[in-house]
Each structure stands twice: as structure tokens, then as C-alpha cells.
Structure 1
Amino acid sequence: MSAEATEHTALGRRRGLPRIDLRNIRRFSRTAVLGPASRGRLPDAIEHIAKVHRAHHPGADLDVLRQAYVLAESSHRGQMRKSGEPYITHPLAVTLILAELGAETTTLTASLLHDTVEDTEVTLDQVGEQFGEEVRYLVDGVTKLEKVDYGAAAEPETFRKMLVATGNDVRVMSIKLADRLHNMRTLGVMRPEKQARIAKVTRDVLIPLAERLGVQALKTELEDLVFAILHPEEYEEARALVLAHAGRPDPLAGFADEVRAVLQEAGITAEVTVRPRHFVSVHRVRVKRGDLTGFDLGRLLVLVGEDADCYATLGELHTCFTPVISEFKDFVAVPKFNLYQSLHTAIAGPDGRIAEVLIRTHQMHRVAEAGVVALGNPYAPAGGDGGTDAPDGERADPTRPGWLSRLLDWQRATPDPDAFWSSLRDDLAQDREITVFRADGGTLGLPAGASCVDAAYAEHGEAAHACVGARVNGRLAGLGTVLHDGDTLQLLMARDAAASGPSPEWLDHARTPAARIAISRWLAAHPVVPEGPAANAPGRDRPTAPGPGGGAPREAGVVTDTAATTVRLAGCCTPVPPDAVTGFTVRGGAVTVHRRGCPVVARMRATGRVPVGVHWRDPDHGPAGGDYRVTVRAEAFSRPHLLADITEAIAAEGVAVISAAVEPPHEQRVRHTYTVQLPDADRLQNLIRAMRRVPGVYDVTRPGRPVAAHQP
């Protein structure tokens, strides 16, 4: 280990940053070269690992660890690391990291063997025969990960295959993260340019993976190590600030005594400690707040026994101190996407000192530090060993975070590896998540900046194609509305899902890969026509059959004067009988039909496009069971419940709403635009009259020109 890494780690230990014990790493070098102990006796090199492991798992079988070490030591014998230490020190260090996080025996066994198949003569079959299928599976997964160059632009398909192979068992990723942490600690022996390349990959891919797996102990140390390499000046400033306060009395310690006294008086059994910030966190707080005091360099951590004690503690603190309400967050009732649970608050003492406080149970703390690593073997049934298989040969992992399941869904849904890689990088770049409350009482976890479009696909998958609108906090909102933490959301779905679908504009509002992938797939299967914003809306683009006598084709009651193969009703002006219409030939020989007053018609004529003669087969009513989409715009004076009254009037006419948009009020007037689906064309005039009868509505038009309809 380099002197710089040693100093960094020692300082981190004093401030309680990484929870990984490094004191025995150098001892691995000395004991490893002595070789394994006699059969049945625990080798000195894994003695401390066994002690740490037994602290988390008192009944653990240590003999399998002894066997794994013996195989690993003998197979790596003679191999050296670039630091000059025996290679066996690396798997020992990785295993110690995982043991301190509370990993179960199978994970530790695989960790000791994780480089044997890649770097020695040991085969996967040998691993399976001696240690069982679970260990074989994990070693195979880590071996595949070793072959991935995360930073190479030409490697997205390799990463995708790796995800398929390893994403079904989060323990594979846990071993890889511990492996990367030890390599980052010893990165000082590398050339500066290689250090920077590895640090960037760690920052872009592995740190976000650690965050999503909830392994905060690994994430925070990786962040500090990357910070030191990529931002040395800022790192030194944060380090100097921490060192400057290290020799002074910690003001948070006195505050912790006050909190302890309050909780003891209330009869709440709690452990109150000061949790120092790591260097990256200090830097971020400094950028946000400017000059820092000792109170900004850490937070108070309160550990209690039960969930109810968390809220009892919160109540006592908010009663005896002044709470900073804007800092309160409840991740106990609504856990974060990576299993994290805790109450966050900030309190001020009589002299105005403000301290941030984290309140959680001891079990919540284990999961907050170690994430999925702390949850044990997800495949071992209660009271026994072994694994369970899910349908289609996939392993059903009950500890798999929701984001990882979504990731696996995306890779299956995205045939283009570059598109998948781009989506993955975008998702990993999200460093904050919001919680949205659904109308049915459930919750959705979404990245900051997500819209109603993202929420629709997060909740309904591809069924979200039928989403036509939303209510946010009880008010009708467009699908492009950006959601905020704590919003309530009700998604409005079309009754005829088969006739609905997303428009290209949805991609402008989609922030999550799941939404973008699903929308792109649908649009690729339903090509749009460039003449109008919704010219190829769902249900409007159909192959046509020859007209009477084998003549021109027809669609929705239109017969053209040319031998077109397809006729489309333009979405920009939504013509219906008996509108006066004209057509233009577009790509592929299709004809798009517009109302004659549509602004698109004037633009196309101005560019020299020659119109095609079109007419309705039955100008009075159109064909029976016609499928017409019409856009209508209501102008009204703003008043409470106006939206509800208009939509009720539309529904009373037996007309389905496909989409709705509401513009902000201006001078007490509002404009509502609805795209509706008519069962037959002659319903249009009745619909317009019904909308005009709504109190406050003073006009109803169709975009492009006013509708010549009279009040009844």
C-alpha cells in the first residue's frame, strides 16, 4: 500500500469514515508466504477474517474458508502483485472487506477464490466439485466481470452480457466492488495516467453501482480515493480542513451528550455517536455553505431498538430542541431505492447551533452500511442450504433492488447494445431519487427531474402507452410535468388501450431509460408522418383496400383521386366528415388528409407541393363504427372545478379523452385542449355544444379555424 493511501486510511479511521479494518493487510504478506497450516488448523492468514466473520455469524462453518484459502494460496503461489507483495494478499484483503460488511460464508469463500479461474490453472469444474454450485456460480460471475473494460466505448455488448450473467446474483457485484476498493487502495504503484483512467471508470460505473446496492461503506471510501486522484487540489483543501479541526474539541460531542440526556430522561434506550463526514461530503458541504464550522463536519447518529423508537426519538428531539423542518425526511416509512432506511432531521440548540441527526435501528444501520451484503444468502431456504430457481432458469433473488430488476428488463427490451449502454450510463449518473405517492397508496421511486411520463412507465411498464394524462397533487397536469419529492400522482389511462400510444414529444419529457426505451420501441413500430405533430397517431395509419370497382383505396371513409396505398388523417387538424378536405402525397406513396383551413396546407402549397383531390365517401356520417380523433379547444373563465366539469361533459357524450393539455391562466382566462376519440363523426357537433354549456366556457373551437356551431 502506498504511503498516501496509508495516510488517507488512517485519517479516515480516526474520523470513522470507512468501516473497513486495514490493520491486518500487511500481516497477510508475512503470513501468506509461510504457506497454509496443517490440515484442520485455521491458517494464520485468515485467522482475523474468521474472527470478524464469526462476530457477524456466530455459527459460521470456518472449515470451508480454510479449504478455500488452501486452494487459493497454492494456486497463486509464486505470483506477485505490482506492489511487490504476494498475490494471495489481494483475495485475502478483498475477503476481509466483505467479512467486515457482514457477508455470509458462501460470499467469503467465493471471494477467496475469485481470481483463481482467471489467473491460475484452477477450473470452474474444480471449484464446483469442491465447494458446490453456489460458489462456482459466484466465481464464474466475477471472472466474467474481470474481462469487462468498463471505460471502453467498444465494450457495451460485453458489459451487457456481463449484466445478464451476474445481475441475477447481487453477491457477484459485491465481490467486484470489494475487489475494486482494494485495487484503488494500492493504485499508487500505477502510472498517473492509468490511475486517472481507473479512477474515472470507478466514478462513472462502480461507485453508482455501490450506491444502488446500498453498500455505503464501500461507496464512501471509493469516493474519497477517486476524489484524491481526479481532484487533488480540492481533496487537499478538504483534508486540510478536517485536519485543522482534528486537534480541537469536537462541538458535536457536546451536542451528543445533550441528546443522550434527553433520550435517557424520556426512557428511550439509544446509542448516540458522532458520525464524521468523509472528504467528498466535506467538500460538497463546503461548496454549498461556504465557510464551515465543527458542526458541519459530521452528523449525530442515533441507534435505537425498534421502528417505533425512531419516531419516539424524533418526537423528543423536536420537542426539546428547535427543529429545522425543511431538513426532515422520512426514509423509514418510505425506504430509498437501495434499501436505505433512516429518519433525517436537523435540530438547533438554545445558542442557535444546528446539528444534523440520523435516527435508525441497529438493523437499519447494518443495511445502511452494507446494503445487500448485510442481507445474507438470498438463495438459502430457512433452516437449510441450497438455492431456488425461478421460472425460465433465472435465479429469483428476493434481495434484488428494484433498479437492478429494471436494468435487466431494459437490456432484454433493447436490441441495440449502444442504446442500452447509453441508458445505463444515464441511469447511473442520477445521484438523487424522489419519492412519489400513487393514488392507490403505494409509492414510486424516480430520479430527480422525472416527469409524469417516467412515472407512467415505472408503474405500468409498456401498458403506459395508454396513459392520456395525470393529476398531480389533485390537479390535472400534462404528462410532461416534472414531479417533485412528496408529490401525489394519479395516472389517467385510456379506456381503449389498443387505440392509444405515445407521441414523439414524450421522448422530450422522458428522463428514465425504462421510459425512453419503451417509447422508442413503440415509435419504431409506428412510424410518424412529418406533416403534422400527431399525423400517425395510434389507430390512424392503416393499410387500405381497393375502393368500389377495384379503384382507389379507402380509409376511414376517404376515397382519393390517385392510386394511393395508404390514406392517413392528419393529426394536426384531425379532419372528420363533413369537413372540406385536401390531401398531399407523402413518402411511400401514402396520402395525408388535412382540413382545407389547416395551416399545414398553406405551408405545403407555399413550398410547391401539389394537393391531391380527396373526398368523404359518406359526407354526412362517414362509415359505421368510424374511428375519428378530433382536437377541440375550450376557452373559459378560470374558476374552481372547471376541469372536472368539462371532462364530465365530454364523458357524458360517450366520447373518450385521448389526451388533454391545460395552459396556465392568463387574465383570469384559461385554455383547455383535448384530443378525443369519436365513435362516429356526427357526435362532434353534439360534443361541442355540450362543452359550451359548461358554466364559464365562452367558446369551443377546433385548432386551425373556428367551428361553425351554434348554441342550442
Structure 2
Amino acid sequence: MSAVRSLRKLGRAALLGPSPRHALPHAIEHLAKAHRAHHPGADLDILRRAYVLAESSHRGQTRKSGEPYITHPLAVTLILAELGAETTTLTASLLHDTVEDTEVTLEQVREEFGEEVSYLVDGVTKLEKVDYGAAAEPETFRKMLVATGSDVRVMSIKLADRLHNMRTLGVMRPEKQARIAKVTRDVLIPLAERLGVQALKTELEDLVFAILHPEEYTRTRELIRAHNAEPDPLDGIAEAVRGVLREAGIAAEVHIRPRHFLSVHRALAKRGGLGPCDFGRLLILVAENADCYAVLGELHTCFTPLMSEFKDFIAVPKFNLYQSLHTAVADPAGRVAEVLVRTRRMHRVAEAGVIALGDPHHAPGADRDGAGAAAGDAERVDPTRPGWLERLLEWQSHAPDPDTFWDELRDDLAQDREITVFCTDPGSTTPVATLHLPAGATCVDAAYARYGAAGHALVGARVDGRLTALGTVLRDGDAIQLLMAPAGTSGPSPQWLEYARTPTARIAIRTWIDSRPEEDGRADRADGTGRPSPVPGARTAGRDVCRGGDGAVSGTRDRHRERPAAVAAPGGAPVRLARCCTPVPPDDVVGFAVRGGAVTAHRENCPTVARMTAGGRTTVPVRWQASGAGCRVTLYAESLSRPHLLADLTEAIAGEGVAVVSAAVEPPREQRVRHKYTLELPEAGDLPRLMRAMREVPGVYDVVRATRGRRPSRGGEAPSK
């Protein structure tokens, strides 16, 4: 009701018209008082001139409520003044609807009030539906966010504008109320959180809560009303805390900070019930950072601390500039109180966020409003380009259409925490880049954050020195090495969309996939999905590669046929090469007689040789002899999964003049894929060169000869090349 009365008062003042020339209009006296409370030396003449222009240009216009339209920019500006906004922001706020809804032009604003004010007014001016149709809303937000990238005051005005509109939303149709409330929930509230404007965020949350969940809101309101009808036990705990801090000689203010409606509702849902101390928290304000820790020491000494509730956001501030110590203590009666400890400056920033930091282009130490440098200004963080805003401005420029932008924006803003990872080059431990990513980001996100569209070439990653899957979720403080293929030799698979958490990565991956529709479903996709398929040009001697019960096997009808003699045995006995170790020259070989008078030749270090010798089998001396028949060998290639890997490997093999008898791809595990090839080499001496060529294919980190019982390890570190 106080908001409504304030609006009516402003409306009556507006109807009386402007005051005499150069006198402060009655309608902005309250605004001027609120502004001077934060900026005692502020020049109010520019506010007077802005009000006169706004009032005259909006004269005759009314809101849905019937109030004069000027009451809206006045209320928006008052919200910002009470949060401590500087004069330029307030001037632009008074004028923020003039270009959109009246005959005033942006050029007029620029000539009368300067470039900064005109930039802010332009930043919050909506795009016309007649020009943009259904895309008007997402494109307006895109325009505002781009403007915010240069000056965060644009979004400050928009947040205050939305708050006043939400306060007066009751005159709208229910369906329109719901639509506006959903956009507020999905976009404006997360932006208020990221910009640290908690005072606006919490009220917006309660207003949205009342519209979208009226039954839960009503129950919560009744709970709060019943609680307020009884004595608050936090009063006694607060007084006890004041006594402790007085005895310790710590100057501090101790306040009871009631939870807002949505906070009470969330606490009830989380705990299943609320105690008498759960409807508020203690807020302790001190002068210096060191005092915060002194207070914490006294609390934990004189009361029983709940250490699981302790968080230090002073040493490690949140990504929205928020700083405080959080703890919870129990008094001798067992009553538990949550406590926030912060300096007065931290409190100002916690409530008003970037609004409290003023003009982002204004050098610290000076104050155009005449208030002097605020304590700690020299240490302030320039809010113009926080990490999340940098990422947003980057990916929005690549969003192909308004719908994609709108969907990705809401998804991006839903990430309410941020992590920092340190990117190093392979073989180095020195970070070359610091990446700020949303919580839940993966190695794929890191690649696109580091390299942009060149992140397509990612083939593997090491986190804290260990080879890991591309979908691995990164943690705060991780050191990551991104293993990249040469440009143009690799690209993302559809599976990467499941790993990507950031719009930058998702948009780049979708663009890549959409630009290559003919490749969807190709045989190469086996590399990313584990579904094996015939290799182009491979001779499979009877049937294609197929899956077996233990993964993928390659079947041939002539599996047990004898090879042309490349190994000689005494007496001219027929010789075939053992399939368990597939020896080739110049391997040391040993033979064993088998049924039918034939001899099977094994490599000397084959495990089968050790077992058969231990079992009493007699060896047969065999030796290599010159032969133009070539030789057959089975190789395992261990690789990191990526599209087109199977085709690239096959091409490398063909480039060495080697025929593929059969090939198989086993299902990937943890982004690692094993390929099995049975190959026909023209000359046995070509094998080392062939294996080197296969290892040089991007993504392949080991190639080994097949030996029964031995395969490349899939756990831990990848074997070195």
C-alpha cells in the first residue's frame, strides 16, 4: 500500500505542473532528498531539467492504472536514488521512456544532456514490434545487453523499470501478468543476481512468486504473519551478541534481517518445517575487513558454531562482487541463528551491487557528485566487463536467430555459480590462460572458451595431469591441458552437445553440424557413437565388420586358411603364422607342431609360447625366408573419440600401400575408442613405418601389435607414443 500511496502522491504533484523556472519541482523533492543522502554535493539542476522535459513530453499520457505517465519514470528514478545511483543514471532514468513513447528524439537528449545520458536512454529503449514482430522482445534484450557491455548502468535502469512495472502489474490481464512474470523470473532476476543488486532481486522474486504461485505465496504470507504476531527469539540472541561484542571492544551494529517471502518458502521446502529462528538472520556490520574476522572469532568462542554453515565470501567473493562471512551459532538454549558479518561498504555493494559502484568510466578517488571518495573505492572492481558478461557478449554475436539467442540466454542465466580453471599448454605447468566458466562446464566448454571456433579441433584433455573424457565436469581451480588436432583435421560430433554447458560451445557445435548435414550418419560416426560400420575400401573376405558379444569383432570365412609360406620349417612342413601374435620379419620366431603335420609360428615373446613350453610342448625351429607374398598383421589403435577418425586412419593405412583385410571399432568408453585392423602388408619391413603413420593421425595416442591377452590399457594415463 505504501508504494500505491507514493505513486498517488507523485501523480498529484505531476498534475500540478512544473514549479517556477530554476526552482526544484515539488514532484522531485523526495527524489532529491534521497539522492543527496548518498551524494551530498550532487548538482540537482540537471535532474530538474530532465524532469521538466520528461513531464512536458509525457503530459496527457496515462498508465493502465489511470495515473499520469510521469509517475512511472519518477518512481523508477526514486528506486535508483535510494540505492545510491549517481546523477547521470538518475537523469537517464527520468528520460528513459521519452524517446520510446514521445516526440523527443535521441539527438535532442544528446544535445541537452550529453553523450552518456543519451547512450543510457538509447540502451533501454525498446525495439518496435512493427519492425521486429515476435523477435522484438529477444532483440530488445540483446540490444540492452550489448549496451550493458559498455555501461552497466543501462541494466540498472532496466531492472528498476521492471521492478516498478511488477509493483503495478495488478491492472494487467492475468495471462499478461504471467507472461511478464516468467520473463522476469528467467531473465531479469538472474541479471539482478549477477549484477549484485540484491535489493531489487529479492523484491522481484517475491512479486513473481505471488503471480506464478499464488497458493504457495498465500501460505507463506500466513506463516510470516503468524510468526510476526509472536515475540521474535532472534531479539534475545541479537542482544546477547551485542553484549559479547561490547565486552570484546568491537564496534558493530547488530540487526535482525527478515527473510523475504520466497526465501521463507525455500527454507520450508528444504527443511520440511521452520523453527522460530528460521524467519530471519542476524546481520552484523563493522568498519574494516579485520573486524569481520574478529567478530567471527568471538561468535565461535562464546556460542556453539555450526561449522557446516560457515562460508568465507570475503576471501573468495562471489562472481557478482558479493562479500560476507556466513556462519550459524547456537545459544545456550539450543536456538540456532544464521549470521551474516560484513563491513558497511560490503553491505552497500551487497544491496545495490553495481549501482553502488557508480559510473564505471569514472576514475576511483574522484566524485563528480561531490561526495568525496568512498572508503575502499581504490580497491573496487570495475563491473563493466565481468566474466559472465564477456562470455554473453561473445556468444550472442554468433547466435543465428532471435529464438536461439532467447533460449541460450535463459539457459546461460540459469547458471548461478562460476568457476576458474587454468589452461596450460601440453608439456608445461605454467598457465597460459585463466578461464572463467559457469559451474558445470566441461572440457568441451573450456576448448571453446579458450579458442573460439577453433575449439572444433579438440581431441583430448588432461585435467591436473591425467587424461580425461571430454565430457568431464571441471572444478574450481583445475589445471587443464587441451589437446588439439591440426586445424581442419577434426571436428565436433553430435555427442558434444551433451557435454557442452555454455552457449559459446553449443552454438559453435550446432553451426558445425548444421553446415555438414551430408556427414550425419556416415560410417565415420562410429568413432563418436561406437556403432561400427564397414570401412570404405576394406576387404572383409566374406562379411562386413560386425558386433559380437564382447564388443566388436571382425569375421571372415577364411579365418583359418594357411598363409603363403613366409616361414620355413624343417622337412618343408607347411607353416602358418599364429593369429595370437601375428609375427612379421624380423621378429624372432619359434614353431610348434600342430595336427596335420603343420607348424604354427609364434613370436618368441608371445605368452602362448611360455604356456606351451611350460606344458612340455617341444618347439620346432623355424626361420624367415625371402618371399614376395607379403605378410598379414593385426594392430590395435587406441585413440580419443572424434568424428572422421576411422576414415583418417584408413586413409593413413592406404597411403602406406597396405590393404585392409578387416576392421572394427569397439564402443567408446570415457571418450576413448579402440580400433582393430587386420592388414596385408606388401613387405614385412614396412610395419614400423605403417605404425608411425597411424600414430601421426590426430587423436591416436598408441598403436600396438595384437597379442592374445594384451590390449592397450584404457585406464589412467594413455601410453606414450
TM-score (norm. length: structure 1): 0.71
Choose 303-312 or 284-293, whichever is displaced more: 303-312
Matched, 1:699 2:710: yes
Q: Secondary structure at the match of 1:356?
A: strand
The answer as to whether partners of 1:575 and 1:595 remain within 8 angstroms in 2 is no
Distance 1:444 1:330, change over 3 A: farther
The answer as to whether partners of 2:435 and 2:449 remain within 8 angstroms in 1 is yes
Distance 1:619 1:60, change over 3 A: farther
1:242 corresponds in structure 2 to 224
Distance 1:429 1:495, change over 3 A: closer
Query: Deviations 1:125-159 (Å, cap 9, x if unpaired)?
Result: 11111111111111111113686999957854554
The residue type equivalent to 1:699 in the other structure is: R
The answer as to whether partners of 1:331 and 1:343 remain within 8 angstroms in 2 is yes
The residue type equivalent to 1:58 in the other structure is: P
Q: Secondary structure at the match of 1:296?
A: coil
Matched, 1:323 2:305: yes
Q: Secondary structure at the match of 1:494?
A: strand
1:423 corresponds in structure 2 to 408
Distance 1:122 1:241, change over 3 A: same
Deviation at 1:199, TM superposition (A): 1.5
1:270 corresponds in structure 2 to 252
Q: Percent identity?
A: 64
Deviation at 1:225, TM superposition (A): 0.9
**Which of 472, 476, 482 in structure 2 is aligned with 1:493?**
482
The answer as to whether partners of 2:495 and 2:528 remain within 8 angstroms in 1 is no
Matched, 1:482 2:473: yes
Distance 1:599 1:570, change over 3 A: closer
Choose 615-624 or 70-79, whichever is displaced more: 615-624
Distance 1:331 1:523, change over 3 A: farther
The residue type equivalent to 2:71 in the other structure is: T
The answer as to whether partners of 2:151 and 2:384 remain within 8 angstroms in 1 is no
**Which of 339, 351, 360 in structure 2 is aligned with 1:369?**
351
**Which of 168, 178, 181 in structure 2 is aligned with 1:186?**
168
**Which of 646, 655, 666 in structure 2 is aligned with 1:570?**
646
**Which of 5, 20, 28 in structure 2 is aligned with 1:38?**
20
1:450 corresponds in structure 2 to 441
The residue type equivalent to 2:710 in the other structure is: D
The residue type equivalent to 1:427 in the other structure is: D
Distance in structure 1 (CA, Å) of the matches to 2:687 and 2:130: 61
2:417 corresponds in structure 1 to 433
Matched, 1:471 2:463: yes
Query: Deviations 1:436-489 (Å, cap 9, x if unpaired)?
Result: 5648799865444333433454456556554722336x76543322345xx541
Distance in structure 2 (CA, Å) of the matches to 1:618 and 1:519: 43
1:401 corresponds in structure 2 to 386
Distance 1:151 1:266, change over 3 A: farther
Query: Deviations 1:631-675 (Å, cap 9, x if unpaired)?
Result: xxxxxxxxxxxxxxxxxxxxxxxx89x76xxxxxxxxxxxxxxx4
Query: Deviations 1:46-65 (Å, cap 9, x if unpaired)?
Result: 11111111111122110000
Distance in structure 2 (CA, Å) of the matches to 1:309 and 1:249: 30
Distance in structure 1 (CA, Å) of the matches to 2:39 and 2:661: 75
Alignment of 1:12-411 (within 5 A): 24-144=6-126, 156-157=138-139, 159-381=141-363, 383=366, 398-411=383-396
Distance in structure 1 (CA, Å) of the matches to 2:653 and 2:459: 27
The residue type equivalent to 1:531 in the other structure is: A
Distance in structure 2 (CA, Å) of the matches to 1:533 and 1:133: 55
The answer as to whether partners of 1:454 and 1:511 remain within 8 angstroms in 2 is yes
Distance 1:94 1:479, change over 3 A: same
Matched, 1:676 2:668: no
The answer as to whether partners of 1:581 and 1:614 remain within 8 angstroms in 2 is no
Query: Deviations 1:231-250 (Å, cap 9, x if unpaired)?
Result: 11100000000000112111
Distance 1:250 1:600, change over 3 A: closer
Deviation at 1:123, TM superposition (A): 1.3
Deviation at 1:207, TM superposition (A): 1.5
Aligned length: 569
Deviation at 1:329, TM superposition (A): 2.1
The answer as to whether partners of 2:7 and 2:75 remain within 8 angstroms in 1 is yes
Distance in structure 1 (CA, Å) of the matches to 2:367 and 2:507: 41
Query: Deviations 1:513-569 (Å, cap 9, x if unpaired)?
Result: 1222344445567757732446599xxxxxxxxxxxxxxxxxxxxxxxxxxxxx976
Q: Any unmatched runs of 5+ in structure 1? A: 1-5, 11-20, 387-395, 538-566, 584-593, 602-612, 631-654, 660-674, 678-683, 693-697, 704-712
Matched, 1:507 2:507: no
Q: Secondary structure at the match of 1:699?
A: coil
Q: Any unmatched runs of 5+ in structure 2? A: 370-380, 424-429, 530-642, 668-677, 715-721
Distance in structure 1 (CA, Å) of the matches to 2:497 and 2:449: 15
The answer as to whether partners of 1:581 and 1:596 remain within 8 angstroms in 2 is no
Choose 331-340 or 455-464, whichever is displaced more: 455-464
Distance in structure 2 (CA, Å) of the matches to 1:455 and 1:625: 34
Q: Secondary structure at the match of 1:295?
A: coil
The answer as to whether partners of 2:419 and 2:439 remain within 8 angstroms in 1 is no
Distance in structure 1 (CA, Å) of the matches to 2:498 and 2:648: 19
For the pair shown, which has the larger CA radius of gyration, 1 or 2?
2
Distance 1:153 1:581, change over 3 A: farther
Distance 1:166 1:398, change over 3 A: closer
1:516 corresponds in structure 2 to 506
The residue type equivalent to 1:316 in the other structure is: E
2:718 corresponds in structure 1 to none
TM-score (norm. length: structure 2): 0.70
Q: Secondary structure at the match of 1:360?
A: strand
Choose 405-414 or 613-622, whichever is displaced more: 613-622
Distance 1:160 1:488, change over 3 A: closer
Choose 311-320 or 364-373, whichever is displaced more: 311-320
Query: Deviations 1:96-140 (Å, cap 9, x if unpaired)?
Result: 001011111011001111111122221111111111111111111
Deviation at 1:701, TM superposition (A): 3.6
The answer as to whether partners of 2:152 and 2:360 remain within 8 angstroms in 1 is no
Distance 1:352 1:568, change over 3 A: closer
Distance in structure 2 (CA, Å) of the matches to 1:264 and 1:228: 42
The answer as to whether partners of 1:467 and 1:491 remain within 8 angstroms in 2 is no
The residue type equivalent to 2:108 in the other structure is: Q
